[in-house]
Amino acid sequence: MCGIFFSLSSSNMIPPTQETCNLLKQRGPDSCKTHAFQKDIKGQDGSTSLLSYYLTFTSTVLSLRGDHVYTQPLVDPATQSVLCWNGEAWKIGGERVQGNDTEDVFNLFLQAVQFESKDATERLVKAIGSLSGPFAFVFYDAVHSRVFYSRDCLGRRSLLEGFDENGNLKICSICDSSSISCFREVGTEGVYTIDLERPQDPTVYPRELCQIQTLPWSSDPSPSAGHIRKPIPPMNTSLPTEQPPALTTDSPFVKELESMLRQSLELRIQNVPEPPNYLPGKTAKTAVLFSGGLDCTLLARLSHDIIPLDEPIDLLNVAFENPRVAAAAKANQQNSSSPSISIYENCPDRMTGRSAHSELQKTCAGRTWRFIAIDIPYSETLAHREQVKRLMRPHNTEMDQSIACALYFASRGQGTIQSSATDPHSHPPSYTTSARVLLSGLGADELFAGYGRHGVAFNRGGFQDLISEINLDVSRLGSRNLGRDDRVLSHWGRETRFPYLDEEFVAWVSRAPVWVKCGFGLPETEATADIDSEKLALRLVALRLGLSKVSREKKRAIQFGARTAKMETGRSKGTDALS
């Protein structure tokens, strides 16, 4: 995980503010460096300077690939081309990357633009299209005086852009503190490019110093010039011509689903480097954002088959003191003779988390599963609220804050290890996870129809409406979820990885007909009679792996499971803007 800042000005060098620099260092604690220079644009006679550009690149690095820290920005001594890279290139051209991916990506880009020619941009387009993995980058092609920047086609890494009040362009992993009002998410429609040899016409765009062009993603296997090959095909929209068969644990799709998910996980959790102060057999390299729900528990269960048995896996489970819920519970307790339960242990995600933890212990003999109970008092929520709002910008709704708050404290990984949830006299030791790699189940609900609205869509318009709803959810992941989540989760110097959003996995799921992913419209069997239709294929994989209780867990949004939603009394809605 890395932090990126880039500025382009026609008046002076514009470095990140100190606040922005500090937040970027939180994302990338292993190194921080700035590279800045002036680029003079000459007239046709080659001697007259028409315009000067000032380019500033700042990168921070969380080192998770290779055998040492690769400091960024990378600068090519021969051409002075520059790369700021925040991502994981798991594969290039279908081949797994061994060692550090940043250097491989930089060399790939340099080879594409090394010669002065009209084909350089087209070669770079093909190079970008050969990358598999989450990424955001800013690349300066010094040979042709062009700037390129982008997020991957799903938007799994944060990148924001905006022109400040003086018309200067800023691109940053987080919202730069001096330009809060103008920042927006970099779109996931393509790669964006600026030709510095062709300055913006000030009569058309008086406040902006450059023209930004888009090189769009294309699902065509052989895209036309100026288009980038998109690794994910359009969703299969076919409708059944007869009654689809029931899904079972032995259905071919369910078996292959387990295999595909396992392959995605292997890329993300094999060869994770040792974190600082590593102790073999005691220190965790990997942790799971763990609510005890289907998606995250399935990742934990499959991780058990991949990670060496003597390596602990941390399960990060967050629960909040919600004063509105606590007040209601206190009133109910006064009228009850039952023993009181901790407000944290009574959180829905804490209860499902402990249940799933118990099932993992039973099905995965010999593994040390550390259940980290992360209890957040209301006072601590208030103390960090402005920081959370700062990180999630430009998102600014009540729902954004509820989700971001839960992710922020879960990623911090600071809680206690409790051996018993029921012993009120126990004093569990404090613990902060050492893991720098976190696993998230994000994407499963969108791909496999896991939300309640998917059932509503099917009841309203059958498979056709269900397909449209799934398509909409997947298409807006980058703008609604992933950028915001990356900014919040990365604040503690950890990288979150999304196995359900691997390109090959998403492409495979997208090609499959909708009725093999979920149980809507399918006949019930004895084995599936008490299992929900949402995400039925994943539920059956969980059954195959011995997770009987987990396979039957209901879907629950994180803000309700952890109780970060509606902490104050009132009639606020999730879509309401924050003050």
- Active site residue ranges: 2
| Angstrom distance (rounded) from CA 179 to CA 160 | 11
Q: Is the peptide bond between 312 and the residue preceding it cis, with omega within 30 degrees of 0?
A: no
| Angstrom distance (rounded) from CA 552 to CA 174 | 38
303, 341, 297, 340: which is closest to 317 by C-alpha?
297
Q: What is the 3-state secondary structure (H, E, C) of 525-553?
A: CCCCCCCCCCCHHHHHHHHHCCCCCHHHC
| Angstrom distance (rounded) from CA 514 to CA 236 | 7
427, 451, 363: which is closest to 355 by C-alpha?
363
Are 356 and 550 a contacting pair, CB within 8 Å?
yes
Residues 6+ apart with CB under 8 A from 571: none
Vertex 197, ends 191 and 198: CA angle to 5°?
75
Inter-axis angle of helices 252-269 and 294-306, to 10 degrees? 70
Are 293 and 353 a contacting pair, CB within 8 Å?
no
109, 121, 155, 161: which is closest to 135 by C-alpha?
155
Q: What is the 3-state secondary structure (H, E, C) of 383-424?
A: HHHHHHHHHHCCCCEHHHHHHHHHHHHHHHCEEEECCCCCCC
| Angstrom distance (rounded) from CA 377 to CA 415 | 12
Q: What is the CA radius of gyration of the chain?
A: 25
Two tokens at 422?
């029921």
| Angstrom distance (rounded) from CA 292 to CA 410 | 13
| Angstrom distance (rounded) from CA 477 to CA 488 | 16
| Angstrom distance (rounded) from CA 371 to CA 284 | 12
Are 285 and 436 a contacting pair, CB within 8 Å?
yes
